Amino acid sequence: MTINLNNKDFFYEEISKSIADQIIHLMSRGIDQFMEYEVWEYDIDIADCEYEKPIIKWVFNVSRVPHDVFAESGRDYDIIATAGYDECGELSIYLTVLLKKGAWIKKATLNYAELVGVVAHEIHHITQNEKSIMTEVYDGEDDNQDMQYFLEPSEVEAFHVGFRAQCAISGEDMRTAMLAYLAYRELNQKQLNEIVETWINVEFV
């Protein structure tokens, strides 16, 4: 499969949906921990591998948090994720669904489009591992830590891909989805506008 990040419809659809579908299925069965591998079918090399085709490990788990964690956002859950090499040198994605203490996993209803977007975001980080962009940092003057994180070059790319995926499925406008995601950050209107415009107008390396 061909990677073409300048195609506005591209977001690693096949692998992102596959992982998201499995997570939805796992939660419907009340499973709170799982590990699996996905074969990398795309046309760039991501790592040396002893197998015929590279693979990506993904690890899913559910973590319980106090109810007040969601007080400001009003949400019933959150998703946090990371990507990179694990302690064994395997390219890996870790996805954690945060639920309120006492909530039933089987009754949790994740936003599918959002979940696919999170996976696509992390998949893109996997493709960045050999790029110099991974070592670049925010070089602006704003000292807001959220601002600095959101405008790191590697994150700008990944957020664009993630929201491209989310909005391809949900039909949302990308700016609207981005602003909703940023709504509970300590950012003023100027900062919000700069982040969203940077994410929208990314130039892929």
pLDDT tens figures, 94-152: 999 999 998 899 999 999 999 999 999 999 999 986 665 666 777 777 788 999 999 99
| Owning domain of residue 83 | 13-200
Short-list 68, 67, 69, 91, CA closest to 80: 69
What rounded mean pLDDT belongs to the chain?
A: 91
Residues 126, 117: Cα–Cα separation, whole Å: 14
Q: Kindly state whether residue 98 falls inside one of the protein's structural domains.
A: yes
Sorting pLDDT into bands at 50, 70 and 90, what band is 64?
very high
Give the chain's domain count. Answer: 1
**Which pLDDT belongs to residue 30?**
96
- Average pLDDT rounded to a whole number, residues 187-197: 95
Q: Kindly state whether residue 136 falls inside one of the protein's structural domains.
A: yes
Q: Kindly state whether residue 68 falls inside one of the protein's structural domains.
A: yes
* Residue reference for tokens 């796992």: 26
Q: Kindly state whether residue 8 falls inside one of the protein's structural domains.
A: no
Residues 156, 161: Cα–Cα separation, whole Å: 9
Q: Kindly state whether residue 3 falls inside one of the protein's structural domains.
A: no
- Average pLDDT rounded to a whole number, residues 176-205: 94
Q: Kindly state whether residue 176 falls inside one of the protein's structural domains.
A: yes
Q: Kindly state whether residue 5 falls inside one of the protein's structural domains.
A: no
